[in-house]
Structure formats: C-alpha cells, structure tokens
Amino acid sequence: MKRNQNFLLMISCAVVMFNACKSKSTANGAAGQDTTSSAEQKLPDSASFSADVQGKKVGLFTLKNKNNTTVLITNYGGRLVSLVVPDKSGKPTDVILGYDSLKGYQKPKEPYFGAIIGRYGNRIAKGKFSLDGKAYQLDINDGVNTLHGGFNGFYGKVFSAKQLNAQELELTYVSKDGEDGYPGNLSVTVLYSLSDDNALKIEYKATTDKKTIVNLTNHAYFNLNGAGSKTILDNLVQINANAFLPVDTTLIPTGKLQPVKGTPFDFTKFKTIGADIDTTDEQLKNGKGYDHNFVVNKHDANTPVAIVNSAATGIIMEVYTDEPGLQFYSGNFLTGATNDGKGGKAYGHRSAFCMETQHFPDAPNQPAFASTVLKPGETYHTITVYKFSSK
C-alpha cells in the first residue's frame, strides 16, 4: 500500500481562494465570539510532562521556526499539546485544545486531544474484520463499535522520541503482534516537522511482518479564535468534497457516497460551521452535528482539502493530504463540564473542530472503499499538512 510521496505544496493558490472569500468571512464571522483568552495564556511547561510511563520516559518537545511559531508535542500518545501561530496583529495564539500537564491526557474518557490515532483511526463496525478468512475481534469502546484503535489505542502509548533539530521530531512505536486485537508486529514512525512558512507536516510510515490493517491520523482539536474561546460555529470552512459518507445511528458509513449538493454538508463554498448545523437533517441528527467523512475531490497533496479561517483572529488554516477521506467533527461531544483545559479553560460544546485525514471508516468491512490492508514488504506512507497564515 504505497501512498503518495511527492509532496510539493502549491500554497499560493489556496491563499488566493481564501482572499476571494474574505468579504464573506467578515460578514458571517462576527457573532458571539470570545477571543480574549488564548494569547495571554502561559504555555504548558516541560516539568509537567516529565514522567516514567510504561517503563519509558515521557517528555514535552518543542518545535520552533524563525517566526516564533511554536509546536509543543508530548511523546505520550504522540500528542500535539500546543500550536502557537501569529494572528493578524502578530499576537501569538494557541489554536489547539489540550492540557497543561500529562495528567490531563491520562484521564479516563479524555477526548483524544491532539493524539496520534492508531492502529485504526475512526470506527470499525462491531470491532470485527477478517483477513484471509481469519476473523479478528477488536475492543468495543464506542457503543457497539471500535473507535480510534480501541481502549488502548496509540493515543495512550508512549512513543520513543528523537528530536532531529529545532523543527523536526521523530516518534517511533512498535505495536506487538496481537496488541489490541490487531495482527502483525507493526513498526510505526511519525515525523512532525514545522517549516519556516508555518506549515506543520505530519508524515506517517509503518511496516508489518504479517498482513494487517492500518489507518493512522491525528486528532487535534482546533479553534482558530484561540483555544478556550467559546465556539467554532463562526469559523468559516471550505471543504473540497462533492460527496460525503452518510452514517447509521452508530456512525458507521452506510456504504453510499452522498452528493453534498443541496444538503447541510455542502462546504464547497465557504460557510460558517454554524450556518446549517442545527438544520433538521437525519445525518446531522445521527452525528449530533458534523461527524462525517468527506470524500475529498483531490488528494494529491497539492490542493487543499479544506481551508478554515477566523474573522476574529484572521488566522487561516489550510489542510493538505494524500488521504482520500477527511473526518470533519464539530466537537459535538465536548461538554465544558470541567475547567481543566490549558490555562484553566472549560472546553464547551462545539468549542473546537477536528479535520482528521484518513482512509474511510469501516473500510475493512466495506470492499468498495479503498483498502487499508498492509502486507509484509510494503510501507504505509502518508502525509498531512496543516498550514497557517493570517490576514
């Protein structure tokens, strides 16, 4: 399963596309936001992440470029802890949700903030799949299905970390044959690199010694108004997808590809996340908002699959990938019940969104979907870029 390796980004066209929509952004984006918070916020410190877990050292690593764009990553779950980019006035703004210490990430039912997700990102129906006639049973950790690898997915594993230089961190993890129910010893490498033009690239590689399935992604929760701001409903989104995957009430794709045209899922032109989210619609009801995989029109890694911007901060995020699917999740299950987010913030309902690049959910059981099977001798290789600018 060789994935696209040629990754020359054509960023300028995306910026032009954004400019064309900027006037709309001002018109739609102003209501109900709280942007006071994040800039003054103190960043998590490394002492609060220093621990021995699973017999390995956990720490906090920093990537920084010449613009002072800063990315904090812990090797516990390979998690992005902070991503600080300049807003339109140059003010450093942390745009992802997370915790000030390792303890936050170890809480039960923690919502996968910033985590590397594996072995299989998203859902597998009833946790079952077969390879060469052999049936495998995974953890049932989300209603009747497996979600994000199971009870002990990569989000809770300690990766080995190697800081290659000020802008690159390499994480590795070997998932043993049978771990969490998946076959094969799977060797995984995740390379985080921050470029001087404020692009955070995540490059995933994996090999196996037995036929297996794999679908890795990152579960960063973004709020371009600044993490801890009340809502993302005013963030403007464009998703370059003419179809999405409708789901059943347990969020497993039905197998159909549904055109977005004429539905609340049409983000082919910029609109706010909130514009149609409360429309009466069976799919929005199933997802309790957006929690669906979009079938991206192009996944050549040169064309953004999605662009998001905040009128309040002027921060623009472009997403590039070679993956065929984009899970757009509007933070429907965030409750804001506790003030334990970074800087004592409560992360309320729909106060962040996720753009998880991946193969389609439940692909191991849906032969019409692109395969997620990895065989010995092959290298799983996929790249996603989140690129930031402001205007």
Residue with smaller CB distance to ligand BGC, 14 or 138: 138
DSSP designation for 95:
-
Shortest distance in whole angstroms from residue 291 CB to ligand BGC? 5
Q: Which of 203, 318, 356, 359 is catalytic?
A: 356
CA dihedral (11, 13, 15, 18) in degrees, to 10, reads -140
Build a one-symbol-per-residue string for 329-368: x at contacts with ligand BGC by CB under 6 A, - elsewhere.
Answer: x---x--------------------x-x------------
Which tokens hold the place of 76? 């516990």
Told to check if 112 binds ligand BGC by CB under 6 A, we report yes
Told to check if 291 binds ligand BGC by CB under 6 A, we report yes
Please give the single-letter amino acid code of residue 202.
I
**Residue with the shortest CB distance to ligand BGC:** 111
- Cα 98 to chain centroid, rounded: 13
Q: Which stretch binds ligand BGC (CB under 6 A): 66-74, 260-268, 306-314, 327-335?
A: 327-335
Task: Give the total of residues touching ligand BGC (CB under 6 A).
Answer: 9
d(CA 144, CA 165): 44
Q: What is the DSSP string of 104-152?
A: HHTSTT---TT-EE-SB-SEEGGGEEEETTEEEE----BTTBEETTSTT
| 8 A C-beta contact, residue 326 and residue 292 | no
Told to check if 222 binds ligand BGC by CB under 6 A, we report no
Q: Which of 148, 203, 219, 359 is catalytic?
A: 219
Active site (annotated) includes residue 148? no
Told to check if 111 binds ligand BGC by CB under 6 A, we report yes
Active site (annotated) includes residue 356? yes
H/E element, 102: helix 102-105
Shortest distance in whole angstroms from residue 172 CB to ligand BGC? 24
User: With 0-12 CB in 10 A as exposed, 13-18 as middle and 19+ as buried, what is 247?
Assistant: buried
Build a one-symbol-per-residue string for 241-280: x at contacts with ligand BGC by CB under 6 A, - elsewhere.
Answer: ----------x-----------------------------
In the complex, the residues that contact ligand BGC under the rule CB under 6 A are: 111-112, 251, 291, 327, 329, 333, 354, 356
